[in-house]
Each structure stands twice: as structure tokens, then as C-alpha cells.
Amino acid sequence: MSDSIRFMKSKLLLLLCIVVITTTLRAATGISSASFKDDCLSLLKGQEDLLRVVGEFDIQDAGHCRMGGEPEGQKFAPFVFLSRPKGSTGDYNLLLIVQRGGDLAMAAGGFPGERFADRLGITILPRDLVLPGNSILYFPDENVTCSISVTSFKPKPDERLPAELVINNNGPTAIRICTLCMGWRHTWKGGFYVNLTPDSWKTNTPTLEMSAQSIVTIQPGGIARIPFEIFTDKNQQIHVTASYSVERKFAEALHVWSGYIEAKPVDIQLEQ
């Protein structure tokens, strides 16, 4: 093997920071909140090379990951967290991404079926490189947040529960949002997730003119409410997560806010 090939392979392995994991990584659907300590760190335990990388950064615990597949409700890579160099007092302006080796290999010019396809690696990206439309990697500023509001009565199993996603403007200036949304749902045993979006529809996509009629302005400190339905099942409790996302192209066309926000999950007790 020539020195140039050996050097290229060593640089690729260094970039990927590849380690073996014992569980099979399955396809996942949907996006979920993730805890670095509770959901991600356990995957890296015993993997000294990746732990050394992690040790070079201050990492916020709250992040994103994929969710779905089998078993239902399981969380999967990529896991994404805000970070900054260890000892820095600046903003958390880096993304620490724990990703599947096959995906990283393709990004580096390799092939997903090579020997590191079922392994994990770490990538560090500047936060400001990610566009708002990338809901798994994008972290919005804290000026716009949301929460889940449900009715006070206890629903019965297998019923639909009326709810609202309450969008809060915590910033110093007014924002415009579109409340005419498609609800992309994902359900599993004891769990429900919905992403509300005005720019992605399964059928009967509204025109921009129709969407424009559902734009509301949220003043600083104000709120807006978007209704949706929670699909319950036969469990005594349902774990509910909801989010709101807007692509930049749609936002520019109607001069509305763009980005991705996710509410803190709520657990709802069901009548028996």
C-alpha cells in the first residue's frame, strides 16, 4: 500500500472517529427530543476515542435525534447537541453530531456498505451553517418557543383528544406565523408525536393566497394557538410531543417566521 493511500485512509478514519456498537441501527422516522446524558452517552461508553472527542467540548444536554422504527418509540442516530470548546465562555455555536458510520462515509466520499457502516462517529459543525429547514440539525433561538395545551377532562382510550400548540414570542420584536397547518403524525404504543407545518401537505395543498389568510402576528410577549388532535390508544397514559416547522422558501414567500420548535412533552392520564 502506498504512503499516499495509507495517509488518506488514516485521515478518513480520524475524521469519522469510528467505533463498533453492538446494536443494529434501524431506519427511523420522526424527530424527538434527546438527552445527551440519558440517550446518547450510553452508546459511547467504553469507546475511548469518541469519549476523548466528547471531553473536548461543553455539551448542552437537550438535543435532537431520530425516533421510530422498531421497537416503536426507539431513539436513533443522528443525535445532535449544541456545544462549545471546553473552557469557552462564548455561545454554544457548534453542533456535536453522533452519526451512523455509513452516512459519514458517504459524506467523506466512501461507501455506506464498508466495514464501518454499522458503527458510530462524531462530526462537529458550525451552528450557523444549518438552514432552518433542516429540522434534525437546526436549533432555533430562544425567542420563539411552544408548549402543548390540552383540555382539562380525561379522555377515554382510543379517543381523539383536542389540543393546541401554543406558540410564544419571547423576543423584542413582533413575528408573523401561519396557522393553517398539516399535522404529520407518528404514533406508537403509549406515545403520540405530531409536526405541524404550513408548507408540507399530504393532499389538498393550499395556495399561498389561502395560507396568507391564516397568518397572525404575535407581538412581543404574545402567543398564537394552533389546534390539533391527539390520537390515544388503549394504554392508561399517552406521552405526547408536538412541534412546528416552516421551510425558508415558504417563509420568504409570505414574510413569516421560519424554523423548527418543539414543545416539552406531556403525559396524559386516560380514563379506564
Per-residue confidence (pLDDT) for residue 136, from 0 to 100? 81
Q: Which residue has the higher pLDDT, 233 or 162?
A: 162
For 260, list phi and psi in degrees, rounded to 5.
-135, 130
Q: Residue range 139-151: average pLDDT? A: 85
Banded model confidence at residue 71, pLDDT cuts 50, 70, 90: low
Banded model confidence at residue 272, pLDDT cuts 50, 70, 90: low
Q: Residue range 73-98: average pLDDT? A: 89
Instruction: Give me the torsion for CA of 96, 100, 101, 107, rounded to 10°.
Output: -70
% of the chain beyond a pLDDT of 70 = 76
Per-residue confidence (pLDDT) for residue 20, from 0 to 100? 30
Per-residue confidence (pLDDT) for residue 73, from 0 to 100? 66
Per-residue confidence (pLDDT) for residue 228, from 0 to 100? 94
Mean pLDDT of the chain: 79
Q: Residue range 91-96: average pLDDT? A: 89
Judge whether 63 and 81 are in contact, CB under 8 Å.
yes
pLDDT in tens, 202-246: 889 999 999 999 999 999 999 999 999 988 877 778 889 999 988
CATH 2.60.40.10 residue ranges for the chain: 144-269
Q: Residue range 70-83: average pLDDT? A: 80
Least confident of 106-110, 195-199, 218-222: 106-110
Per-residue confidence (pLDDT) for residue 155, from 0 to 100? 64
Whether 52 shows a pLDDT value over 60: the answer reads yes
Whether 89 shows a pLDDT value over 80: the answer reads yes
Overall pTM surpassing 0.85 (yes/no): no
Judge whether 213 and 241 are in contact, CB under 8 Å.
no
Q: How many CA atoms lie within 13 A of 178 on its CB side?
A: 30
Q: Does domain 144-269 have CATH number 2.60.40.10?
A: yes
